[in-house]
Amino acid sequence: MARDVVREARNVEPMPAGCVFCDIVAGRVAAIEVLRDDVAVAFLDKSPLFPGHTLVVPTRHVETLADLEPDEIGPYFARVRAVAAAMPDALNAGGTFVANNNVVSQSVPHLHVHVVPRTRGDGLRGFFWPRRRYTDGEADRYAERLRRALSDRV
Of 78, 90, 82, the closest CA to residue 143 belongs to 90
**In the prediction, which pLDDT does 129 show?**
61
Q: Give the pTM.
A: 0.78
**Mean pLDDT along residues 85-107:** 89
Q: How far apart are CA 36 and CA 58, in angstroms?
A: 10
pLDDT tens for 68-79 read 999 999 999 999
**In the prediction, which pLDDT does 128 show?**
59
Decide if 28 contacts 137 (C-beta within 8 A): no
Count Cβ neighbours within 10 Å for each residue of 79-96 and write b for 16 or more, e otherwise. Answer: bbbbbbebbbebbebeeb
Specify whether 112 is catalytic: yes
pLDDT tens for 108-141 read 889 999 999 999 988 887 655 667 899 999 999 9
Which of helix, strand or coil describes residue 33?
strand
